[in-house]
Amino acid sequence: MRKIIFIGQSGDKAVYYNTRTREALVADKSALLNTEGARKTNKAIIPLILLFALFGGGVGLAIFSFTSPFRLNERMIPIILLAIFLVFVGSIYMLEKALYKNVRSTVLANEEQFKVAVNGNLLWEGFSDKKATLGKIFFFSFVILVLLFCLGIVSLFGIPGMLIPYYNHEWFDLSLLFSPVAGVLPAVVVIALFQNNPIRWMLAVQKYEQGKVIFREEKDYKHE
């Protein structure tokens, strides 16, 4: 698990929390987060991932269509698997750059920056109050367990089943262009566990509500 986790945005800054030192940190946010708000950022990233998936699968199938027009065959499988892998890696890479690009250049944040970042985070969507409760932690734990279960189903049955038409030399279907999107679910699981874990985020907010987070004001006061 990473030591420094992303909390949210405050103006033109990205706000973080150091889980070991309990310090609130801030750095310049990535250009990928340079939008009018976090909601618009998420809406911009998701279409990019889908476009990337379509491009990867479409190019691969187009190349092989010259050797076997409109018929699927086993030689296409490595291209499809590569496209799925690229979507998986590309999704993680984009979010890593969006959230943690300048994490090595952090300085202590003030309490107002941390408060704005917490209150503006999308994890509060669907909740009536912005409090880090045990119920919310259990809810996100359940969501992650469901994602892991779905990942197991997709890995054992979904992706292998997706390859059957290639072995059977079936006719090409436009729906096959969406095959690389299968790489999105594994990426979401990795993101939820290691990049933007909602449980660790809630625990950080809980520390803040308990007054256990260290801010710049406190450090400045001690140095006086």
Of residues 118 and 47, more confidence is placed in 118
User: Tens of pLDDT along 134-178?
Assistant: 999 999 999 999 999 999 998 888 888 888 888 888 877 766 766
Compute the distance between CA of residue 39 and CA of residue 59 in angstroms, rounded to an integer: 31
User: Tens of pLDDT along 25-76?
Assistant: 999 998 877 544 545 545 555 555 555 555 555 555 555 555 445 577 888 8
pLDDT at 53: 54
pLDDT at 118: 95
User: Tens of pLDDT along 1-20?
Assistant: 899 999 999 999 999 999 99
> What is the pTM for the complete model shown?
0.80
Compute the distance between CA of residue 137 and CA of residue 178 in angstroms, rounded to an integer: 34
Residue tagged 């509500």 (tokens):
209
Beta-bridge partner residues of 6: 16
Of residues 181 and 219, more confidence is placed in 181
Average pLDDT, the chain: 83
pLDDT at 154: 86
SS (H, E, C) 56-87: HHHHHHHHHHCCCCCECCHHHHHHHHHHHHHH
pLDDT at 80: 84
Share of the chain above pLDDT 90, in %: 50
The letter for the amino acid at 130 is K
- The answer to whether 21 touches 216, Cβ cutoff 8 Å, is no
CA distances from residue 164 to 56, 78, 92, 154, 160 in whole angstroms, order as listed = 20, 13, 28, 14, 7
Compute the distance between CA of residue 124 and CA of residue 49 in angstroms, rounded to an integer: 24
The letter for the amino acid at 133 is T
